[in-house]
Every structure is written in structure tokens, then in C-alpha cells.
Amino acid sequence: MSRMNYQDNSNIFSDVSMVTSGTTEPVGPTIPSDSGYGKTSDETWAKTEPLDDGKTEIAGQFDVNGKSVSPTVGWLICIKGPCKGEDFKLHTGWNYIGRGHGNEVNIPDPKVDRSNMAKIAYDDRSRIFVIAPGDSTRNLTYWGGKPLLMPTPISAYDVISVGDSDLMFVPLCGEHFSWEE
């Protein structure tokens, strides 16, 4: 699921009750109001993250057990850096890479921008993955050892470098498999 600004997309998660201070109001007895989760239906919850401008964004949608509602389409696996050996699930649509908790790929590397240093998308219609630079004006992302300056299709085992971390891309969906089949 792509990150969305709740205030600009209030019709999508109409059951989520939020205020502009970046917190959620209590919506049910099982999830505390200060947890950053808001109810989107009887079976799903949205993880929210406060933004610097005081608005709240939807960072992901999860079931009542905390599992992602969107199926995994691939992974980034850290092969160098502070989270070496960890894997990060990718889903359909944009997956943001950054140091902050609102990113789908959260890299605890001080040289990685807090949010949207780079992003990877999977398009289930064309069955391709694309990597694109994020909103960073300070730090570069590298793909295959070269600066990532424009959206580029990526392939299995490509290495993406952010800060002092290297991430290897491993797809699940593509030419041979798709959840839509």
C-alpha cells in the first residue's frame, strides 16, 4: 500500500478517527490510542505516523494480529550495514526507504534520510519493479554502484546502496508468478 496523507484521502479510511496533531483517538478496546494504530474496518487497522507539518499519514494497513494486509511481492535484504541480515517485505505500489518508522523499509543507518530517500514500486499490471530516487536533496541513493537519478527498472539481485547500507533486491512476483493469477 502506498503511503497516503490521511487528510487528503479521508474517504479511503473513513473509520479511522484522527486529529491533525499526529495522534489517533481511541477507536477500540484492543489497540491503545497512543499506539499509532487506527481501525479501518472490523478486521484491519492502519498504522499512522505523524508528519513534520502536524498532519498524519497512513504508513501501512494491518490485520488485527499486526500482519500486513497486502501480500508480499519481494524483499530487500540488507547485506551490509547496521541491519545486516534483516529482510524487508515489499508490496504492490510504492515502498519507501528511509530511517524513520513511517517507511516500509526502515534502515537504522544515520547516513540514511529519515523519510523517502528512495522508493521501489511493483506494478501488478505490468509485473515489473522500478526503483526511483526519493525526495532527498542531500544524500544520493546508488543502484549498481551508480547514482540513482531517475526511475529505473530493477532485476533480481540488484544492489541498492543508501548511506552505509547495501540492500539486495529479491523479487517474488514477476513473469512467473503474480498474486492476481
CB burial string 82-110: b at 16+ within 10 A, e below: ebeebebbbbbbbbbbbbbebbbbbbebe
pLDDT digit string (tens) for 121-163? 999 999 999 999 998 778 999 999 999 999 999 999 999 999 9
Q: What mean pLDDT value characterizes the chain?
A: 75
pLDDT digit string (tens) for 22-47? 444 433 334 444 445 454 445 545 55
* Cα gap 169→39, rounded to integer Å: 32
Cβ atoms of 120 and 103 closer than 8 Å:
no
- CA pseudo-torsion sign 110, 77, 155, 124: negative
Any idea where the domains of the chain sit in the sequence? 4-63, 74-171
Cβ atoms of 143 and 124 closer than 8 Å:
no
* pLDDT band, very low/low/confident/very high, at 67 (cuts 50, 70, 90): low
CATH 3.40.50.300 fits 74-171, yes or no: no
- 0.85 exceeded by the pTM? no
pLDDT of 41 reads 47
Which residues share a beta bridge with 46? 38, 61
pLDDT of 55 reads 53
